[in-house]
Structure 1
Amino acid sequence: MAATASLKSSLLLPSPISDFSSAALSISTQARRRSWQPRGARMQVAAAADSKNILVMGGTRFIGVFLSRLLVKEGHQVTLFTRGKAPITQQLPGESDAEYAEFSSKVLHLKGDRQDFDFVKTSLAAKGFDVVYDINVLSRDFSRISAHGFTGREAVEVAPILDALPNLEQYIYCSSAGVYLKSDLLPHFETDAVDPKSRHKGKLETESLLETRDVNWTSIRPVYIYGPLNYNPVEEWFFHRLKAGRPIPVPGAGNQITQLGHVKDLATAFVLALGNPKASKQVFNISGAKYVTFDGLARACAKAGGFPEPEIVHYNPKDFDFGKKKAFPFRDQHFFASIEKATLELGWKPEYDLVEGLTDSYNLDFGRGTFRKAADFTTDDMILGKKLVSV
């Protein structure tokens, strides 16, 4: 705690850092254990008097699962564009049969491959969608030069959609805060320099493409996303180790600061951008209200799952050759962004604090015995083995 307090004062950051002391975590378990219900009034979004014909690129997992429910709740006609390899809808944990039946009966499906540009142009033009949500963030090894000069997979696949819908009212895109150039000055703001060599450069190219086209667009840049059905091993990585009663290996001193945003809060932000004049041709960072240290995140995950205080083992990544395996689920650096613009311009604010959100994720996913990736403690054993020898 002393190290964390020292870090707070040395960074001189105006936003609070969650250090997850026992006093800060006195949250009622009963209050946290609830299933998610879309709340239009709480989002300050009126019932859709002007229903939109909306296309969601992807939409069958994680972000899309929650976003599509909110859009249907708001009275919009929602079509999911997928390759049809996964079920089009799935019942959420805690969702009643009646609620799921109502939702699934209102969602349409357009089966196709977005790399089949001729099909995309023909099928989308026939439907005449008003709005497109592009949240299909799964990366694939794909690169070709488009007629617009872009080579990244994302931008190449977006151009045919825009070509097919000349009367499109809005294109809402899921980008990433990973596009920002690494900096000593934090948090990242939407106006900060970006890194053209980032592994998210395809998202930068897509944003550039949208800027060059005569289209009303909005780009959302999440930091780390967590929540039920997360297909990235973020909180799941910690839960696996906590359940197994194992120490949690954390690189460095564990005081690296990062930021997580709940998927349901992200979905709300996407909906608030819809038809909002203040969102026109704008970029918004979306994440949680507070920042957290790596060590603090380990303790928060333990609190959320009802586990004892975890044993945290610090190590120097330079002492190991992990090969292609990833020993820790976060980039080993300070990485967080300001959400001030979204709160001011969109009227959005996160509903979930970090511990409450992690509890929601645990209760509705990992705590039920469901997860995306099986536990792999290979790198942990390498780290712990070296620590035992050194002791």
Structure 2
Amino acid sequence: MKVLIIGGTGLISTPITQMLIDRGDEVTLFNRGQRTARMAHFSGHVRELRGDRRAFGIFEAQVREAGMFDCVIDMIGFHPDEVESAVRAFRGRCGQYIFCSTVDVYARPSFHHPYREGGPLHALSDYGREKIACERILMEAHDDRAFPVTLLRPAHTYDDTGIIHHSLGRSTALLDRIRRGRPVIVHGDGQSLWVAAHAIDVAGGFVGAIGNTRAYGRGYHLPGEEWLTWDGYHRVIADVLGVTLPELVHIPTDLLARLAPGRSGVCEVNFQYPNIFDVSAAREDLGYRYTVPVARGFRRIVAHLEATGGITDSDAEPYYDQIIDAWRDHTQAMIDRFAPMGL
């Protein structure tokens, strides 16, 4: 098959590209060519188109000149004007358009879990709202017979060189804290549910959608299938590091998001809600399979970080312990204030 990937060297699209090469497809990558190492790895195996998709007129001319495609996979469509440009460029010129969306399109909180395709869309983040707008434009194009559309919605996705998310951002100092037995901050009561999937599994879902007529006009979830509480998530990390889980300090999500909005704001719009998704449709129609358990995937991340010196010394982040100290002090002050009332 002739497949064009808009992107092609990112977290999910790199293994997609490799899978398509391995099965003998004719692959074209459109990107800015900034990830030179990955492009060098694919050199000789893919056709390369260099450009900026946001230069809409030039982009549309480039892909028209590149010819017809059996499938276009859009991995980097984040804004409505970008997919509007894609509709102009590929109308009648591709056999299928696969769009990488996100589970962040769904309404939070939800009254029903797990999330199922077709659930109400009402994103809390700008990222999610933009993806909703993109989805709607593409489904209108599908209904207008511009090309068949498939929407794929990954959740948290990582690879062997990735980052382990936590309540105070993405710093790898979390690993040092756990290894040294230092207390770890967890948003809320630590009982909201989270999933994570390795990019190799998510990529398999994308490849399973290519040329798959059952997927035309539909959306699918491509998340992890281990439903972990955030407390359980940290226990997995401790197990991977071979240490006992240190004390988990639970701080209300709304407070944490105000104390450290740049690091913990995502907890308020995402992490505090159950992030669990039904994958039965993707398993049945796309052959989606979850094969890399979180513990195995995180072990690979830790191995990579250790090999590259990528674990930050937790001493370099004094604010972390300062937040814990402030929380403990104010909690004790409240206890002392109300204790005489015998409540």
1:54 partner SS: strand
Closer, same or farther in 2 for the Cα pair 1:267/1:312, shift >3 Å? same
The answer as to 2:233 corresponding to 1:300 is: no
The answer to whether the Cα contact below 8 Å between 2:106 and 2:121 also exists between their aligned partners in 1 is yes
Residues in 1 aligned to 2:288 and 2:170: alpha-carbon distance in whole angstroms: 29
User: With structure 2 as the length reference, what TM-score do the two structures score?
Assistant: 0.82
The answer as to 2:313 corresponding to 1:377 is: no
Residues in 2 aligned to 1:374 and 1:53: alpha-carbon distance in whole angstroms: 47
Match of 2:15 among 51, 66, 69: 66
Residues in 1 aligned to 2:215 and 2:311: alpha-carbon distance in whole angstroms: 34
1:183-225 deviations in Å (ceiling 9; x for gaps): 1211100011111664212211221111111211111111211
Q: Which amino acid aligns with 1:326?
A: R
The answer as to 2:177 corresponding to 1:240 is: no
Match of 2:280 among 340, 363, 369: 340
Residues in 2 aligned to 1:56 and 1:224: alpha-carbon distance in whole angstroms: 21
Match of 1:164 among 63, 81, 89: 89
The answer as to 2:59 corresponding to 1:120 is: yes
The percentage of aligned residue pairs carrying the same residue is 25
Match of 1:135 among 58, 62, 75: 75
Per the TM alignment, residue 234 of structure 1 is displaced from its structure 2 partner at its CA by 5.9
More helix by share: 2
Residues in 2 aligned to 1:328 and 1:296: alpha-carbon distance in whole angstroms: 21
The answer to whether the Cα contact below 8 Å between 2:187 and 2:251 also exists between their aligned partners in 1 is yes
Closer, same or farther in 2 for the Cα pair 1:354/1:184, shift >3 Å? same
Q: Which amino acid aligns with 2:150?
A: T
1:66 partner SS: helix
Unaligned 5+ runs, structure 1:
1-51, 92-99, 140-152
User: With structure 1 as the length reference, what TM-score do the two structures score?
Assistant: 0.73
Match of 1:327 among 264, 276, 285: 264
Aligned match of 1:220: 152
Number of matched residues?
314
Match of 2:189 among 239, 253, 257: 253
Residues in 2 aligned to 1:353 and 1:115: alpha-carbon distance in whole angstroms: 37
The answer to whether the Cα contact below 8 Å between 1:238 and 1:301 also exists between their aligned partners in 2 is no
1:157 partner SS: helix
The answer to whether the Cα contact below 8 Å between 1:217 and 1:282 also exists between their aligned partners in 2 is yes
Q: Which amino acid aligns with 1:293?
A: T
Residues in 2 aligned to 1:370 and 1:158: alpha-carbon distance in whole angstroms: 40
Residues in 2 aligned to 1:310 and 1:237: alpha-carbon distance in whole angstroms: 19
Residues in 1 aligned to 2:149 and 2:188: alpha-carbon distance in whole angstroms: 40
Q: Which amino acid aligns with 1:173?
A: F
Residues in 1 aligned to 2:264 and 2:311: alpha-carbon distance in whole angstroms: 17
Closer, same or farther in 2 for the Cα pair 1:226/1:387, shift >3 Å? same
1:299-319 deviations in Å (ceiling 9; x for gaps): 112222334423322122444
Larger displacement relative to structure 2 (234-243 or 311-320) = 234-243
Per the TM alignment, residue 328 of structure 1 is displaced from its structure 2 partner at its CA by 7.5
The answer to whether the Cα contact below 8 Å between 2:163 and 2:170 also exists between their aligned partners in 1 is no
Per the TM alignment, residue 55 of structure 1 is displaced from its structure 2 partner at its CA by 1.6
The answer to whether the Cα contact below 8 Å between 2:191 and 2:231 also exists between their aligned partners in 1 is yes
Closer, same or farther in 2 for the Cα pair 1:197/1:254, shift >3 Å? closer
The answer as to 2:215 corresponding to 1:276 is: no
The answer to whether the Cα contact below 8 Å between 1:55 and 1:81 also exists between their aligned partners in 2 is yes
Match of 2:134 among 206, 209, 215: 206
1:37-90 deviations in Å (ceiling 9; x for gaps): xxxxxxxxxxxxxxx222211222311222111111111122222223331616
The answer to whether the Cα contact below 8 Å between 1:59 and 1:136 also exists between their aligned partners in 2 is no
Unaligned 5+ runs, structure 2:
333-343
1:109 partner SS: strand
Residues in 1 aligned to 2:97 and 2:327: alpha-carbon distance in whole angstroms: 51
Please provide the CA RMSD for this pair. 2.7
Per the TM alignment, residue 242 of structure 1 is displaced from its structure 2 partner at its CA by 2.2
Closer, same or farther in 2 for the Cα pair 1:370/1:345, shift >3 Å? farther
